[in-house]
Structure 1
Amino acid sequence: MQRKLLLLPILLFLLSEASAQSTLSVEYIMRDPKWMGVFPSSPEWSEDGKQIFFKYNLDGDPADSLYKIDLANPTQISKVHWAEEKALARPQSDTNADQSLRIYRKDHQIILEDLKKKTSTTLFEWHEPVSNLKFLANENRIAFNSGGNIYVFDRASKSTTKATNISNGNKPKEKADDKAGFLESENLQLLNVVRERKEAQEKSKAYRESIREGFDEFTYYTQGKNLSNLQLSPDERYATFSIFTPASNKNTAVPNYVDASGYTEDLNARSKVGNSPSKVEIGIYDLTRDTVYFVTTSDLPGIKDLPDYVKDYPEKTWEEKERALTLSSPTFSPDGKKAIVQIRAFDNKDRWIAELDLETGALKTLDRQRDEAWVGGPGVSGWGGGTLGWLPDNQHIYFQSEATGYSHLYLLNVASGEKKALTSGKFEVFDPFLSKDKKSWYLTTSEVDPGERHFYKMPLMGGAMEKLTSMTGNNAALLSPDEKKIAIIYSYSNVPAELYVQDNKAGAKAQQLTSGQSEEFKAYSWREPQIVRFTAQDGAQVPARLYLPEASKKNGAAVIFVHGAGYLQNVHKWWSSYFREYMFHNLLTDLGYTVLDIDYRASAGYGRDWRTGIYRHMGGKDLSDQVDGAKYLLAEHGVTPGKIGIYGGSYGGFITLMALFNHGDLFTSGAALRSVTDWAHYNHGYTANILNTPEEDPIAYRRSSPIYFAEGLQGNLLIAHGMVDVNVHFQDVVRLSQRLIELGKDNWEMAVYPVEDHGFVEPSSWTDEYKRILKLFNSTLLDKQQ
């Protein structure tokens, strides 16, 4: 009888586990994504606004092809023949101010299209490569680049002139003395034919110079430097260009052990953080004065400012000097009389927008955005990128800034310096652009909710925003050429992307044009995760996706998922780019797990303070948000202590390592996928923003890198990594594994994937990896007593 009583709890446990089943399996959900159906992407309008083209794959091709829908018959989806697709291409094209004319190159011909009359005319032929075709302020004149110089075609005279004279070589050395030497003098006296030929050459040269009408042609020699971004001002007064001098930084090599050759081949990869800066100079070619000079930056306010973190190194002497800068190519006003330049400090703690004095190369600062962490955010991030341009009045510029803590759209009067915010509030603005008539803005924002995206229209000089889309989720909108309709790629939390179209007006109903889910995919009832907020230890409200199992299946275990990329949003109401993980979370929930997916500190979508919350300490607030999430599950959702696992890839793998190394009392097991283990071995562009450089701020790297905390491993760790990962190198986990070996840790294992880069491709690799993750959680979390 006693033996039967002892067996009863075990039997009950096995029965409860058996009851927690799922129609899903890892093998099922990690197949080639084609099993899910066909989903549209990259929509484009036909010029007449009657058709929508998009990438699709109805025929099971190896890759997506171009398809189209004619709005006159919206139920018919047809594949675009390659000949039609080729005819649609308009490489090297530009439109005039009112977008009634377009120029483009086809083969060797430069063609002018009248978009209203639907006629085409060949303007001229040019048998050399052409780039940067554009209408000038005088729209009868067209500029283009060829052979490293700018040419201008005049539509009235049908003539082409060379506007610049640039040579990618060294300036010829002037002869110190043309006087003939002894040997030449003797030769000319002795040999009549040689003397006569010499005299004929000199007469010919003198004649050629006499017919040049006294014009001594100016040539700018680049001295072999890399010249790029050559452009002509719309008024044809100046040309500008960039001189790029790359830094000589050591790149790393990633061995490919399964190269088709049968030999181990090295893949060239990025350099590591702390590399020296490349140099960018902006040259101005004055076409009237025949001279070239360069933009001067020494007068920028704060160019010598030291960062705040220097106070943590009192023993070090910090030299006050001009910081290295990156300059964008000048952006000209429509009339070409003015130009602005965006300048970024190489340490990315300053962004200046300045007016360029084209006559002298001097800069007048119009706006300075300083961030002791790093300058970034929607429409702001990127070297020389982001939102920046002129209004048609040639007086106002527009740009985005995080001056209020959220990325908003601003106007600035160049003459008066007056700055005006066109949008404001605790939301962010994405991809603003001007309407064709230049009277309105179109923009996407998160005003409704951080987890939604909607399309708006707003008056040019500011005012109320008119919300044009209404479907809850993500509305990726594309206006038709006549701006009468909107094509929308729309998705919801549990509904993959489909193509819709609606009239361009508030309240208009969106019509669904595609329906690509397979019957197999639709057979399962995919969950709509709850969006919750829990309180972090510093009082912040942390957003998360929550998956709750049915009460009858609940096993007291929980898994926390950590998204990658750091600056990325995954707590939202649209179909996630982490769709495999989303399906895996449905599987886990079927099995009785509670799943939490957190937009931790540094995630996108919540403004500047959230974005920079990890400055100088990765594994700080981003990690404590996972800890507080685990405590939230324990307190609010009946999760059993000792039954919490954590996993994630890339940045998520890094956090998983930090969680197991620092909070083994809370996290019993974790799977670290393609994880950074030492930030001093990652790239410069990403890491230096957050942690500065290891040479200048070693404190930040020491407290942010998992390899320094490996002795804290208590729970069960799975490391998984692709061996040809050129982003987070396999070397990262090799070094960590050696550290774990030396520490005598035996509660970890590593799975390696010989043919995989950072983002896995092969379904077999995805399947193997997630079978191991599920096995880890099942074996370490579900054998805990309830």
Structure 2
Amino acid sequence: MKIKLSLCLSLFASIFYFNIHAQTSELSVEKIMQDPEWMGNFPSSVYWGIHSKNIYFDYNPENNPADSLYRININEPGKIIKVTAPQEHVLVPRSGDFNDDRSKKVFSQDGDLFIYEMRSKTKRELLDLPFSIEDPVFLKNEDQIAFEAEDNVFFYNLKKGSLKQITHIKSGTASNKKDKNLSDKEEWIRQENMELLEVVNQRKKSKESSRNYRESVSEDEEFTFYLEKRQLANLQVSPDAKYAGFSLISRERGKSTDVPNYVDESGYTVNLPARSKVGDMDYKAELALYNFEKDTVFIIDLSELPGITDLPDYTKDYPDKNWNTEAREVIPSKIHFSDNAKKAVVNLRSTDNKDRWIALIDLDKGSLKSIERQRDEAWLAGPGIGYTYYGYETLGWLPDNKHIYFQSEESGYSHLYILNVETGEKKDLTPGEYEVFDPFISKDKKHWYFTSSKVHPGERHFYKMPLMGGTMEQLTSMEGNNEVKLSPDEKYMAILYSYMNKPEELYLKKTKANAEAQQLTKGQSEVFASYNWREPELIKFKARDGSIVPARLYLPDETRKNDAAVVFVHGAGYLQNAHKWWSNYFREYMFHNLLTDLGYTVIDIDYRGSAGYGRDWRTGIYRHMGGKDLTDQVDGVDYLIENHDINPEKVGIYGGSYGGFITLMAMFTEAETFKAGAALRSVTDWAHYNHGYTSNILNEPSKDPISYRRSSPIYFAEGLEGDLLIAHGMVDTNVHFQDVVRLAQRLIELGKEDWEMAVYPVEDHSFVEPSSWTDEYRRILELFNESLLGQ
């Protein structure tokens, strides 16, 4: 293979089915990479109607350009009804807040305030203001509703119909006068612009009207808090209407990298705004408490948190460097007030993501007391712990107003804990070598509901458990993934279920372990269902360090076997793919079926860094990406050679994003193992990736350059010996096209010959166009056929 730089536009090429034994398949690259609608239509985004009678979901049985909203009434489970736009508009949104007996719900819709009466099934507008209303909640006195608007808290009295602004928070500074004197020239230009442009004039009047209205519903302002150059976040009101907590954010993102779009509809090259690079982020946050009775704001001191000045262990590798031993910056979450409004806790995280504190707030003094500290010398993450790629943190109060609940990896797996804030006693409610996801308290406040991998790391089931811990009752039983949406009355479960070779379908089941699940949708097309999609074997093999590595294995019939193997590397690092449900990598799954038809053996490994296996597995890549995550691929090949008679001269590897990065490292540093590789949308130099992801795993380039040098493929390009395909979208705003351009220049300078690059001018990180998918995977199949089979 010689150097080829190919501009791939809309090429639909014929598929090459042949292998060394001239095997064929019912599948083709063109078939499996076409618009996914050929597979059928499958439900998504499932939720319940407010009265527990209708299940709503996105669906597309009519093959429209986009999904529409559909519903099924549980009393007529055989009827799937499309929801019209007018019908959808009158639905009560999922967001909002119920009062204690759940007879009323307040919510914001289109920026206005509404209330819904459950008994009469009536929806009523309460307020239509010149500004947008957000996050309404009932206060302890349920005649009062609090909501946020324009960075301030307002109270609405249901009985009186009166409105009152409670906080007085403004942008800028006290000395910042908006009506500053203009020069004669500036005033002339302003007046001329206002006379010429009616829309601008109207907007100015609207702003003035909004400001005048706010002032009319406010009492005389004895105190005003100015944001200065900070942004307000996490505004939260206490149930007794005495306090509000909020964060003040100062963020300098650094220099952003432009991504040129060469095929903009204008005909000109247009720069797309994109992210800055790792280490180029200056983030500061303050935690504030607004005391309404004292009409003042306390800035809570975070500098005395235990261990706030601790240096991470990796600094020992740089004995000559002078390290800053001042208090680290901290990121606060929203303040959680107890139901009786007498206590409050907050989750705090150091910006280097090595420490997490849960602290009690003294509401009178505005001071902190740490009651739980979690530290990880790698980085804190895991389900319910609040890391960017795992969602928001699990944290709140039990009804007794004495215990808080949260998740922690203290045991090595993310579990649900409770802690008595008065005695400090802590209890793991779900101990074991498995993980817990999305716990919430039942309507009667006597039980927990949550999802767990207790049965198997590759299965997800829904559970019920007593509030203070006890027997976990498994409520789902179908093998695979059971994504449950519990009805508001908690009598039924809507289950989005899938298996390895079966895409998602919607099921209905009573909230009982022994009840039968009823299938509501059947979305597979006839042509998709006509192929016998494989159920890959879930295996485990031993890595060189003794760890047991999970994987999916696709084995061809002995009559078709060509003694060649392909290793697939899933993306993102923190994802999981050796599981029992329908994969997000459904195109790759279908491609693996095609490869297996053609005689290839395919292995798909949940290498070190993958999700689903606890803290030690997750952090196995700390400070060395391309270390254990790569040797797991090599050890997987050794397993295939020893157990499935794979020819060591006929092994290929491919993957996208993180999988593309591993492919490059494999081709550059493990040339004896891998003869061909396809690196798709791959990171080539981690110093050029984003801050949120990379700094957790490798720290920052200026602070820990060792980690970046040993983890970035561009430093090892001289090791390329096999055949390499590089494929990348040119408008990728995640892993920038610049990554592979720099690598291409490096390979040219090194005089490497056996590589090619395919570029996709209209594609971002996740490809969209079937023509691009088809062209890319045609090239991957050609690569393996030519390099591994000599065809």
- TM-score, normalising length: structure 2: 0.90
Q: Distance in 2 between matches of 1:742 and 1:778?
A: 28
Aligned-partner SS, 1:329: strand
User: Map of 1:349-388 to 2, 5 A cutoff?
Assistant: 349-382=354-387, 385-388=392-395
Structure 2: how far apart are the matches of 1:722 and 1:127? 43
Partner of 1:300: 305
Q: Distance in 2 between matches of 1:65 and 1:331?
A: 37
Report the Cα distance in structure 2 between the residues aligned to 1:533 and 1:620, rounded to whole angstroms: 19
Could you tell me how far apart the structure 1 residues matched to 2:686 and 2:176 are? 50
Q: Give the superposition deviation at 1:157.
A: 3.5
Compared CA separation, residues 119 and 62, structure 1 to 2 (3 A): closer
Structure 2 contact 111–133 (Cα < 8 Å) conserved: no
Q: Please list every run of 5 or more consecutive structure 2 residues that lacks an aligned counterpart in the other structure.
A: 1-16, 178-218
Q: Which residue of 2 aligns with 1:267?
A: 272
- Deviations for 1:209-251, whole angstroms, at most 9, x for unmatched residues? xxxxx98722223335322333321111112222111114111
Does residue 335 of structure 2 align to residue 330 of structure 1? yes
The CA distance in 2 between the partners of 1:126 and 1:660, in whole Å, is 61
- Name the counterpart of 2:423: 416
1:64 matched to which residue of 2? 67
3-state SS of 1:675 partner: coil
- Distance in 2 separating the partners of 1:511 and 1:108: 39
- Of the three residues 568, 574, 580, the one matched with 1:567 is 574
**Partner residue of 1:582 out of 585, 589, 592:** 589
* Distance across 2 between alignment mates of 1:107 and 1:257: 37
Give the alignment of 1:531-610 within 5 angstroms: 531-610=538-617
**SS of residue in 2 equivalent to 1:772:** helix
Instruction: Map 1:109-124 to 2 at 5 A.
Output: 110-120=113-123, 123=126
Change (3 A) 1:347 1:783: same
C-alpha distance in 1 between matches for 2:34 and 2:18 = 30
Q: Which deviations, in whole Å up to 9, do the C-alpha atoms of 1:655-678 show, x marking residues without a partner? A: 001111111111110000000001
The answer to whether the Cα contact below 8 Å between 2:685 and 2:713 also exists between their aligned partners in 1 is: yes
CA contact (8 A) 1:92 1:131 kept: no
Pairing 1:602-621 to 2, within 5 Å after superposition: 602-621=609-628
Per-residue deviation at 1:117?
4.2
Mapping 1:302-317, distance limit 5 Å: 302-317=307-322
Distance of aligned partners of 1:156 and 1:705 in 2 relative to their CA distance in 1, 3 Å threshold? same
What residue is the counterpart of 1:201 in the other structure? Answer: none
- Give a deviation string over 1:185-207, Cα, whole Å, max 9, x none: xxxxxxxxxxxxxxxxxxxxxxx
Shift of 1:173: 9.2
Q: What does the per-residue CA deviation read over 1:531-572, in whole Å, with 9 as the maximum and x for residues that have no partner?
A: 000110001110000000000000100000000000000000
CA contact (8 A) 2:253 2:276 kept: no
Distance (Å, rounded) in 1 between the aligned partners of 2:18 and 2:752: 35
Q: Which amino acid aligns with 2:289?
A: I
Q: What secondary structure is seen at the aligned counterpart in 1 of 2:56?
A: strand
Please name the residue that 1:97 is paired with.
Answer: 100
Residue number in structure 1 paired with 2:13: none
TM-score (norm 1): 0.91
Q: Which structure has the larger Rg?
A: 1
Name which of structure 1's ranges 152-161 and 710-719 shifts more when overlaid on structure 2: 152-161
Contact 1:19–1:553, Cα closer than 8 Å, also in 2: no
Q: Which one-letter code corresponds to 1:306 in the other structure?
A: L
Corresponding residue for residue 36 of structure 1: 39
- Aligned partner of 2:753 in structure 1 is 746
SS in 2 for 1:689: helix
Task: Tell whether the 8 Å contact from 2:551 to 2:603 is kept in structure 1 after alignment.
Answer: yes
Q: Look up the match of 1:246.
A: 251
CA contact (8 A) 2:57 2:71 kept: yes
**Alignment partner of 1:221 is 2:226:** yes
2:149 is aligned to 146
**Is the contact between residue 426 and residue 447 of structure 1 (CA under 8 Å) also seen in structure 2?**
yes
Mapped to 1, the partners of 2:82 and 2:221 lie a distance apart of 59
1:427 counterpart = 2:430: no
Corresponding position: 1:486 with 2:489:
no
Q: 1:462 to 1:713 in 2, by over 3 A?
A: same
Deviations 1:5-34 (A, max 9, x none): xxxxxxxxx998344211111011100000
Q: Distance in 2 between matches of 1:728 and 1:342?
A: 31
TM-superposed deviation, 1:109: 6.0
2:418/2:428 contact within 8 Å kept: yes
Distance 1:305 1:52, change over 3 A: same
Query: 1:85 maps to what in 2?
Result: 88
Name which structure has the greater RCO, CA cutoff 8 Å, separation 6+.
2
Matched residue, 1:209: none
Could you say what secondary structure the match of 1:699 adopts? helix
The partner residue of 1:456 within 463, 480, 488 is: 463
Match among 140, 160, 171 for residue 157 of structure 1: 160
Deviation at 1:284, TM superposition (A): 1.4
Q: Which amino acid aligns with 2:635?
A: D
* Alignment check: 8 A CA contact 1:676 1:728 kept: yes
- For residues 290-312 of structure 1, what are the alpha-carbon distances to aligned partners after superposition, in whole Å with 9 as ceiling and x for unaligned? 22120111110000000101111
Contact persistence 1:108–1:127 (CA under 8 A): no
Match of 1:131 in 2: 134
1:677 matched to 2:680? The reply is: no
Distance in 1 of aligned mates of 2:773 and 2:520: 32
Contact 2:19 2:785 in 1 (8 A): no
Change (3 A) 1:302 1:753: same
Residue 154 (structure 1) shift? 2.3
1:423 shift after superposition: 0.5
1:391 pairs with 2:398: yes
For residue 143 of structure 2, what is the amino acid of its counterpart?
N
**SS of residue in 2 equivalent to 1:685:** helix
CA RMSD of aligned residues (A): 1.9
How far 1:287 moved relative to its partner? 1.2
Structure 2 counterpart of 1:778: 785
* 2:447 alignment partner AA: S
Would you say how many aligned residue pairs link Structure 1 and Structure 2?
732
Following TM superposition, by how much is the alpha carbon of 1:106 offset from its aligned partner in structure 2, in angstroms?
Answer: 5.2
Change (3 A) 1:108 1:717: closer
Instruction: Supply the AA of the counterpart residue of 2:726.
Output: I
Task: Give 1:523's aligned residue.
Answer: 530
| Cα distance in 1, alignment partners of residues 536 and 111 from structure 2 | 55
State the match for 2:30 in structure 1.
Answer: 27
Q: CA deviation at 1:86?
A: 0.7
Unaligned stretches of 5+ residues in structure 1? 1-13, 175-213
Q: Give the superposition deviation at 1:170.
A: 2.4
What secondary structure is seen at the aligned counterpart in 1 of 2:785?
helix
Give me the whole-angstrom Cα distance separating, in 1, the residues matched to 2:506 and 2:333.
Answer: 36
